[in-house]
Amino acid sequence: MSPPMPHTGYDGLNETSDAQQWGDIHEDFNGERLDIDGHPVMQKWEAPYMHALAELATSKGGRVLELGFGLGLSASAVQKHDIDEHIIIEANKDVFKRLQAFASRAPHKVTPMLGFACDVVATLPDNSIDGILYDTYPHDKDEQHTHQFKFIKEAYRVLKPGGILTYCNLTSIGVLKGEYDTWQELWEKTQLPHVRSCGFDDAGIKPFRIFPVTPAQDCEYYEHNEALIPVLYK
């Protein structure tokens, strides 16, 4: 019998939370990392990985929808590509202020939208978005591994036929990668069934990519040297 795999990842999320309060909690931001309510939301070491996600999400050009501004790592990368509009949804009011400042100096049109991902995307028209990059933070343990799929199910509607979607949930994958021997097993057991239930068919679910990362030594939520990049076409 194989010995149990060591626990990895972040287990400090609250058992339950009032998601609406998240928007009013002041951020702890020092340029290198972003913490909200004592939880590690994003750190600067993620930048190369965020750039890879942004490159994928902008590969169709047109209108790009980004969920979660954080440190602005992926947003800055999105702006380096030839796009028509960059819609960014952010729930936290402090972070949103930094997003507004970012929008004022961005080379391509940025449309900041304040609110929670599922609530705001519900106001967008069908078949109106060319690319989506989802990277928000779970509010409690109940949604740690699944919050992205709740959004993706709604976002499928706004994605144009042939449009592309990718997502990141390091707070989840940081735990799950410690439970599975291979990325393929992790994908097939914990991601693929949800992706299919969101509306993507096998023709649109392309082989995932693996990206090398170097987490900071004090990173609480990720300690692996690779990260997952899903590739989903409508």
Q: Which residues share a beta bridge with 134?
A: 67, 167
Q: Has residue 3 got a pLDDT over 80?
A: no
Higher per-residue pLDDT: 40 or 214 = 214
| Pairing label, strands 226-233, 159-167 | antiparallel
Of 117-131, 141-155, 206-220, which gets the smallest average pLDDT?
141-155
How is residue 166 written in tokens? 């990718």
Q: Annotate 88-110 with b (16+ C-beta within 10 A) or e (fewer).
A: bbbbbebbbebbeebbeebeeeb
Mean pLDDT of 41-65: 98
Structure confidence at residue 56 as a pLDDT band (50, 70, 90): very high
pLDDT digits (tens, 9 = 90+) for 151-197: 999 999 999 999 999 999 898 999 999 999 999 999 999 999 999 99
The fraction of the chain above a pLDDT of 70, given in percent, is 89
- Looking at domain 35-233, its CATH architecture is 3-Layer(aba) Sandwich (3.40)
Q: Has residue 30 got a pLDDT over 80?
A: yes
Q: Has residue 48 got a pLDDT over 50?
A: yes
Kindly report the pTM of this predicted structure: 0.92
Residue 16 has what pLDDT?
58
Residue 10 has what pLDDT?
65
Q: Has residue 53 got a pLDDT over 80?
A: yes
- CA-nearest of 198, 129, 118 to 158 is 129
How far apart are alpha carbons 108 and 210 in whole angstroms?
A: 29
Mean pLDDT of 189-209: 97
CA 177 to chain CA mean position, Å: 17
- CA-nearest of 187, 120, 128, 178 to 156 is 128
